Amino acid sequence: MAQPTFSTHLGMVDILPGEVEQWHTLERIIHEEAKKFNFEEIRTPILEQTELIARGVGQLTDIVSKEMFAFERGEDQYVLRPECTAPVARAYVEHHLDQRGGTQNLYYIGPMFRAEKPQKGRQRQFHQFGAEIIGAQDPAADVDIIALMMSIYDRIGIRNTTLKINSVGDPESRKIYTKALKDYLRPHLAELSEISQKRFENNPLRILDSKEQEDQPIVDNAPVITDFLTDETADHYKRVKALLRELNISFVEDPHLVRGLDYYTRTAFELISPDLGAQDALGGGGRYDLLIEEIGGQPTPAVGFAAGIERLLIACEELDIKLAEEDMLDVYIVTLGEKARSWAIKHLPRLREAGLSASMDYIGRSIKAQMKDADRENARHVIIVGENELSEGKFVLRDMKASEEVALPFDDILEELSA
């Protein structure tokens, strides 16, 4: 066979028939759970202004400094969105969604793009579902966001997860903590990995997140941000934890949890799965009370999460969770001869109008090949049409599972199948 000439780009994956059905089920569950929690769907463009992402996510993050798919066209700078929080915040400001009153509870499902090195659970085009509550400062919002995320995994049956939480502070606590962290790290600088040494000046908090072996003993003994929180932020964190306990949502506190995006303030969380290998975060999120002002809106508190669909599907596979039933076809019409084929094409609409899924052979295959095709399509029933059937006005209806046949007029078949 000739080699195909074209293939997808590195880290970009086709979702083929047979796989797509699982996505449908998952999307349905997300829509249903979001509705229960009173969230409305929002769809923003795939392309955003590069400056929005740079300012929103943060210039020094890996996402902005290394992983953007960005290009220019005329005067404009475009980027394929690497995440959807900054785009949703932009839409909130641009369309004055605050004027609708109350908090805005928004959710989304869609593709995101990051030029990362692909590996299991890490793609360059991947899909997220996520939700944001914009306009609420209260810890109840943080907890409702976490509850929505957890309820989706719970419905699917993924329950062996660990919810890690932390408070990454507000600017005031962060300033004092950053100084304390740098003072602690400075004498160890030469022992740190190259990447952590680079982060020391501009982004020392990310050193806590390091996966490098040589950094671990140093990171383990580092001061923790939760010891440096202002009273108000410490109280917020305390109330988030108390509410989670009241809702029986178990969590572990991880004072080294820092997220890869710069907009977080106060609550940060990640949902970890033991079934994913190195890329073990199913989802993550937190509070971002300064982002909306940062991109030109009024100061507006907000909190949200996003989760990777591909990683969720890997976890399902590991746990042997089947998201979709095998697709069945209600009726396949097997035809013998030209006349039978035109009869079939005319009668397919009546089956479909009755709510049945129905198909036929279009390419004049033998009866045997058509029966095989019906099998491959998982047909529940086959209607067999030939010259004799047409002249008698009765057609063979075969129940494929029971291997039973009856000869009936078409109207009776329709009645029987739609019963």
Annotated binding-site ranges for L-histidine = 83-85, 114, 128, 132, 259, 263-264
Q: Does 304 bind ligand HAM (CB under 6 A)?
A: yes
Q: Is 285 in the site for ligand HAM (CB under 6 A)?
A: yes
Determine if 284 is a binding residue for ligand HAM (CB under 6 A): yes
Q: Round to whole Å and give the CA distance between 318 and 313.
A: 9
Asked whether position 132 contacts ligand HAM by CB under 6 A, the answer is yes
Q: Does 144 contact ligand HAM by CB under 6 A?
A: no
Query: 282 or 382: whose CB is closer to ligand HAM?
Result: 282
Among 306, 329, 351, 379, the residue binding ligand HAM under the rule CB under 6 A is: 306
The rounded distance, in Å, linking the Cα atoms of 76 and 385 is 61
Residue with smaller CB distance to ligand HAM, 168 or 397: 168
**Whole-number Å distance between alpha carbons of 244 and 163:** 11
Reading the block at residue 377, the tokens are 């399509």
DSSP element (H, E) containing 73:
strand 70-73
Question: Which CA distances in Å does 1 have to 7, 8, 97, 300?
Answer: 16, 19, 56, 59
Q: Is 410 near ligand HAM (CB under 6 A)?
A: no
**Distance (Å, rounded) from C-alpha 295 to C-alpha 93?**
8
User: Annotated binding site, which residues?
Assistant: 83-85, 114, 128, 132, 259, 263-264
Q: Can residue 282 be called a binding residue for ligand HAM (CB under 6 A)?
A: yes
**What are 145's two structure tokens?**
């966001």
From the list 97-105, 275-283, 314-322, 346-354, the region that binds ligand HAM by CB under 6 A is 275-283
Per CB under 6 A, contacts with ligand HAM among 77-116 are: 83, 85, 114, 116
Residue 157 CA to chain centroid, in angstroms?
16
How far is residue 130's CA from residue 302's CA, in Å, rounded to a whole number? 13
Answer for which of 311, 341, 347, 381 binds ligand HAM (CB under 6 A) is 311
CB closer to ligand HAM, 98 vs 377: 98
Given candidates 104, 105, 128, 210, which one binds ligand HAM under the rule CB under 6 A? 128
Mention every residue, 6+ apart, whose C-beta is less than 8 A from residue 318.
275
φ, ψ dihedrals at 252, nearest 5°: -120, 145
Angle at 43 between CA 37 and CA 48, to 5 degrees: 130
- Interface positions with ligand HAM (CB under 6 A): 83, 85, 114, 116, 121-123, 126, 128, 130, 132, 260-261, 281-286, 288, 304-308, 310-311
